């Protein structure tokens, strides 16, 4: 993963955008991570996987902490899906429609 300082990102914005289309770019300020630039490239699944890879590199979890983080993510995702009106029946229909 490419790393740039916030000043470099500001001064070389075009390069930042070009690089982010190939790989995630970590932006740092005073040596600490402050942002990640990821290009969706038309494929949100790929962008999400890149994001998860970066998170894993920056904040590795294992054991109980990893299980708790996965559980929290699943609960939050389920809650958001419910708020958006996504039901088990709708999920089943989407799965069958895309086979």
Q: Is pLDDT of 15 > 90?
A: yes
- Mean per-residue pLDDT, 15-36: 92
pLDDT attached to residue 99: 74
The architecture of the domain spanning 1-60 is 3-Layer(aba) Sandwich (3.40)
* pLDDT, position 60: 76
**pLDDT at site 63:** 83
Angle at 55 between CA 37 and CA 12, to 5 degrees: 20
What mean pLDDT do residues 48-52 have? 82
Label residue 43 by pLDDT band (50, 70, 90).
confident
Give the residue extent of every domain in the chain.
Answer: 1-60, 61-99
Separation of first and last alpha carbons in the chain: 35
């Amino acid at each position: 993963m490419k790393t740039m300082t916030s000043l470099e990102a500001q001064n070389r914005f075009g390069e930042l955008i070009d690089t982010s289309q190939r790989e995630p770019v970590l932006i740092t300020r005073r040596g600490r991570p402050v942002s990640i630039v990821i290009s969706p490239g038309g494929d949100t699944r790929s962008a999400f996987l890149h994001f998860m890879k970066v998170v894993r590199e920056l904040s590795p979890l294992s054991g109980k902490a990893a299980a708790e983080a996965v559980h929290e993510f699943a609960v939050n995702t389920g809650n958001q899906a419910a708020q958006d009106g996504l039901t088990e029946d709708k999920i089943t229909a989407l799965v069958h429609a895309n086979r």
